[in-house]
Copies of this chain bind each other. A is one copy, B any other.
Amino acid sequence: MDYRFSGNVERLQSSAVRDILKLTQGKEIISFAGGLPAEELFPLEAVHEAVDRVFAAGKGALQYGLTEGYLPLREQLCARMAQKGMTVEPDQMIMTTGSQQAIDLIVRVLLEPGDVVLVENPTYLASLQVFSLSGLRVVPVESDHDGMIISEAERLVREHKPRLVYVVPTFGNPTGRTWSLERRKGLLDICSRWGVPILEDDPYGDIKFDAGATYPTLFSLAGSADGGGVLYTSTFSKTVAPALRTGWAIGDRKVIRMMAKAKQAADLHSSTLDQQTLDQLLRHFSLDVHIRKIGDAYGERMRQMQALLRQQGWEDVKWVQPEGGMFLWLELPEALDAEALLRCAVSKGVAFVPGASFFAAQPQRNTARLNFTYTHGERMALGISRFAEAIGEFTARR
């Protein structure tokens, strides 16, 4: 049969990151491409013990669950959210298949095809895919290392009347940037005045390198029990393990109810084996101690990668040191196309993500995202030397 496809899916680009992941699977390639957490830090034993406790609870544990998610887990998560200044009740929370699904559900309940969403520039690739799949118009807002330029955001809000602003204000992907307090408040102010909901995507907020630093979420700054127009999403993928595919969203009760209606249709509910496991994990394992361990290890890896890059003595490769998260964002020599560089790098046995796909429009082609959490130690050194070789070949050609 000659299948016809919907326009939105025809136009949808497959994720460059996941395609590279697929390309490199099983091959001897050192990958700085995926946003993969460090496997050796997974709390395998603790998760296994948690699963055992779920099975000890009996056969009911394997039955269908609520669309909104496993209530005891939501209750525990509400307590964790409160510690971050986000005081919500379980009926303001929905469990999702990773925070990725939260983005998709929010878009499906709040936006119509053709609606405008404002994003940072560059921004999280897979959010751009959601927006594209739903036929939205994506308008990027000029951004620097402190976040969106607020005057620009306001100008574009006036001009485009967006139905959503999507941001990753803490240790963003791909840039690793952290919004200043002033910019956070500035965006809240604009969105509150113009009645535009904000989707605050916070998968990395816990992964900070300075244990004492605090990064208030937009949701907490809004200072309203219902989020004051902010919908917040996060995930266990970076703090526990991605395989469990468990994220959540919090916000206004009505939005959460609508998301639950949409989720009934989308997949009924997410894995309750995973949710019950996480519930048990939170009861018997100090996740905060574990998160500190991850933050420290990743901080060290970030510094290692920076040191390795500095050793190359490049004058025209630039980056800003991130305060947390999983990525270094490189600006390469101006004439260098990172997609061409990638092909050369893969032939030398190293992968990264060319920056272009993170831009909603007018991509800056001389940019690259390097993950520093997955590959470490000598392998990281070998990977960076291969990467440097590839860059050397390109700059020599000019």
List the B residue with the shortest CB-CB distance to A134.
B265
From residue 283 to 310 of chain A, which have CB atoms closer than 8 A to chain B? none
Q: Are B34 and A62 in contact (CB under 8 A)?
A: no
Shortest A31–chain B CB gap in Å is 12
Measured between beta carbons, the chain B residues less than 8 angstroms from A6 are: 108-112
Tell me, in angstroms, the Cα distance from A129 to B44 when the chains sit together.
38
Residue A398 is within 8 A (CB to CB) of chain B in the complex: no
A391 to chain B: closest CB distance in Å? 27
| A residues at B contact (CB < 8 Å) | 1-9, 12, 14-15, 18, 21-22, 25, 34, 36-37, 39-40, 42, 44, 47-48, 51-52, 55, 58-67, 96-98, 100-101, 104, 108-113, 126, 129-130, 132-133, 163, 192, 195, 197, 226, 228-229, 237, 241-245, 252, 254-255, 258, 260-262, 264-274, 276-277
Q: In the assembled complex, which residues on chain B have CB atoms less than 8 Å from the CB atom of A112? A: 6-7
Shortest Cβ distance from residue A25 to the other chain B in the assembled complex, whole angstroms: 8
Give, as a whole number of angstroms, the nearest-CB distance from A34 to chain B.
Answer: 7
A247 to chain B: closest residue by CB = B267
Residues in B neighbouring A132, C-beta threshold 8 A: 265
Q: Among the listed B12, B22, B111, B269, which residue makes an inter-chain contact with A245, where contact means beta carbons less than 8 Å apart?
A: B269
Q: Can you name 16 extra interface pairs (CB under 8 A) apart from A104-B266, A245-B270?
A: A5-B258, A34-B64, A44-B58, A44-B62, A48-B52, A62-B243, A64-B237, A65-B243, A98-B267, A101-B266, A104-B265, A113-B113, A130-B266, A133-B266, A243-B273, A273-B274
Residues of the B chain whose Cβ atoms lie less than 8 Å from the Cβ of A9 = 108-109, 258, 261-262
In the complex, A361→B25 CA distance in Å? 49
Which B residues are in CB contact (< 8 Å) with A4? 110, 163
Q: If the complex has contacts A4-B110, A265-B129, A270-B97, are A40 and B59 also in contact, measured as CB distance less than 8 A? A: yes
B63 touches A241 (CB 8 A): yes
Name 27 interchain pairs, CB-CB below 8 A, sorted by A.
Answer: A1-B226, A1-B252, A4-B110, A6-B110, A9-B261, A14-B261, A18-B264, A21-B66, A25-B66, A34-B64, A36-B64, A39-B63, A42-B63, A44-B55, A44-B62, A48-B52, A51-B55, A62-B244, A97-B268, A104-B267, A132-B265, A243-B271, A243-B272, A243-B273, A245-B272, A271-B273, A273-B273
